[in-house]
Amino acid sequence: MFHKEGHKIILAATFFVGVGILVIDKFIALDWLNKTLAIVLLFFYIIILQFFRNPKRSTTLDNNHIISPVDGKVVVIEEVFEKEYFKDKRLQVSIFMSPLNVHVTRYPVSGKVKFSKYHPGKYLVAWHPKASEENERTTIVIENPVIGNILYRQIAGALAKRIVNYAIPEMQVIQGTDAGFIKFGSRVDLFLPLNTKILVNLNDKVKGGEKIIATLS
């Protein structure tokens, strides 16, 4: 299954690769060069398909749990001052996605969307310390009846040129469902209440929609 945000790109890539293979077959006489170029085109096509895959995930709904919004590797766990929305201290958990990870964003908790804002910006590498404040990004806050308000931030990386965000203020959302997409390499930051217990460690690999990131202390 492929994400809807990739349908046009996959269609264009299919056309490009198909035409490319026909042109190579017609105009490249050297057999080794013909095969090499065809393999390069097919490799490119497989990467596109890999990037836009949208596997089904089994989410166990639980208002005491905050689940990972994305696939990737945990690169930050620390107490920070969140200055855009809360303007106080929060626990930050950041997850880095390589171009090979699934790039679907899923809601980490159920509840009401209290805040949703897009910020244009730079395209620093996603693990850069200033990426959270200077890169293209979206900030979303969800009010959960048990945990309270949590914030997650989709951050574009050096290759990402478009962030898709489905969260609209006052919208009721369900944990684990599709919240958006980030195209080509990125990061997601979670800002959690100080009374939550973090259940992951640095460098852990997490799976969006399934892995529990934190719970109430």
Distance CA 92, CA 76 (A): 7
Half-sphere exposure of 69 (CA within 13 A, CB side): 31
Q: What confidence score (pLDDT) does residue 185 get? A: 61
Say if residues 3 and 104 touch (Cβ distance below 8 Å).
yes
How many DSSP H helices and E strands does the chain contain? 3, 14
The residues near 114 (Cβ < 8 Å, ≥ 6 apart) are: 141, 142, 143, 149, 169
Distance CA 149, CA 127 (A): 25
Per-residue pLDDT of the chain (217 residues), as tens digits, is 777 887 888 899 999 999 998 888 888 878 888 889 989 999 888 888 877 888 889 899 999 999 999 999 999 999 999 999 999 999 999 999 887 888 899 999 999 999 999 998 776 665 566 666 767 889 999 999 999 999 999 988 665 557 889 999 999 999 999 999 887 668 899 999 999 999 999 999 999 999 999 998 7
Report the predicted TM-score, pTM, of the whole model to 2 decimal places. 0.83
Q: Give CA 200 to chain center in angstroms.
A: 18
> What CATH number does the domain located at 65-216 have?
2.70.70
Boundaries of every domain in the chain: 4-51, 65-216
Q: What confidence score (pLDDT) does residue 158 get? A: 60
| 39 C-beta neighbours (distance < 10 Å), count | 10
Q: What confidence score (pLDDT) does residue 147 get? A: 94
Distance CA 139, CA 119 (A): 8
Q: Give CA 50 to chain center in angstroms.
A: 14
Q: What confidence score (pLDDT) does residue 51 get? A: 76
Sign of CA dihedral 142, 143, 144, 150: positive
| 60 C-beta neighbours (distance < 10 Å), count | 11
Q: What confidence score (pLDDT) does residue 191 get? A: 97
Distance CA 50, CA 181 (A): 14
Catalytic annotation on 58? no
Say if residues 167 and 173 touch (Cβ distance below 8 Å).
yes
Given the residues 68, 94, 132, 186, the one annotated as active site: 186
Distance CA 84, CA 70 (A): 22
Q: What confidence score (pLDDT) does residue 213 get? A: 97
Distance CA 157, CA 135 (A): 7
Q: What confidence score (pLDDT) does residue 211 get? A: 97
